[in-house]
Chains A and B, each alone.
Chain A
Amino acid sequence: MTEPSHQVVVTGIGLVTALGVGRQAHRDQLFASTAPDRVTDSERFAPYTVYPLPEIDWSAQIPRRGDQRQMENWQRLGVYAAGLALDDAGFKDDAEACASMDMIVAAGGGERDIAADTLIIEESRKRNDREQLLNDKLTTELRPTLFLAQLSNLLAGNISIVHKVTGSSRTLMGEEGAGISAVETAYARIAAGQSTHCLAGGAFVSERLDMLMVMETIQGLGKDPTAPFWNQDGTANGMNLGASGAFLVLESLEHAQARGAHVYARLEAVFGDRGPRDDGRLEKRLTRLADDAGASDGGADTVVFSGASGYPDLSARERAFLKSRFPATPLRTVGALVGHSVEAHFPTAVALACLALDDAAPISPFAAGEDAPASTAANSAIVTTIGHVRGEGIARLTRTS
Chain B
Amino acid sequence: MSNSAYKDHLGRPLVAVTGMGVVTSLGQGVKDNWAALTAGTSGIHPITRFPCEGLSTRICGMVDFIDIPVPNAVERSYAFARETTIEALAQAGVSGDFDGPLFLAAPPIEPEWNARFELGDRVRPEQMTGNAYEQFLAILREKADPVLHEAFLYGAISERLAERFGTRGLPVTLSTACASGATAIQLGVEAIRQGRTNRALSVATDGSVSAEALIRFSLLSALSTNNDPPEKASRPFTKDRDGFVIAEGAATLVLESLEAAVSRGARILGIISGCGEKADHFHRTRSSPGGAPAIATIRAALDDAGISADQIGYVNAHGTSTPENDKMEYLALSEVFGDRMAEVPVSSNKSMIGHTLTAAGALEAVFSLLTISTGTLPPTINYDNPDPTIPLDVVANVKRDATVTSVLSNSFGFGGQNACLVMAAEPA
Contacts and interface: CB of A to CB of B under 8 A. Distances in A.
Contacts of B152: 214, 217
B53 to A, nearest CB: 7
A217 B145 contact: yes
Contacts of A125: 120
Contact of A169 (B169, B172, B285, B417): B417
B175 A135 contact: no
Most-contacted residue by chain B among A103, A167, A217, A276 (CB, 10 A): A217
Interface residues of A, number: 84
A73 to B, nearest CB: 16
11 contacts: A1-B196, A135-B55, A135-B215, A154-B415, A160-B280, A165-B281, A169-B176, A188-B194, A217-B146, A217-B152, A389-B155
A172 B153 CA distance: 13
A134 interface: yes
Given A134-B211, A147-B219, A217-B152, A124 B120 contact: yes
Interface in B127-170: 131-137, 140-141, 144-146, 148-150, 152-155, 158-159, 162-163, 169-170
A148 B174 CA distance: 17
Contacts of A52: none
Interface in B185-205: 187, 190-191, 193-196
A216 B140 CA distance: 6
A134 B212 contact: yes
A242 interface: no
Contact of B216 (A142, A156, A392): A142
B65 interface: no
B170 A138 contact: no
A39 interface: no
Given A153-B176, A174-B153, A135 B52 contact: yes
B contact residues, range: 35 or more
A390 interface: yes
A153 B177 contact: yes
B78 to A, nearest CB: 13
Interface of B: 50-55, 106, 108, 110, 113, 116-117, 120, 131-137, 140-141, 144-146, 148-150, 152-155, 158-159, 162-163, 169-177, 183, 187, 190-191, 193-196, 211-212, 215-220, 277-285, 293, 413-417
A147 B18 CA distance: 38
A274 B120 contact: no
A130 B117 contact: yes
Contacts of B193: 192, 194
A389 B174 contact: no
Nearest to A176: B155
Nearest to A119: B132
Contacts of A131: 50-51, 211
A138 B212 contact: yes
B391 to A, nearest CB: 30
B108 A218 contact: no
**For the complex of A and B, 3 pairs with smallest distance between CB atoms:** A157-B415, A272-B170, A174-B155
A2 B196 contact: yes
A166 B414 contact: no
Contacts of B175: 107, 152-153, 171-173
A201 to B, nearest CB: 16
Contacts of A185: 172, 187
A210 B133 contact: yes
Contacts of A174: 153-155, 158, 171-173
A261 interface: no
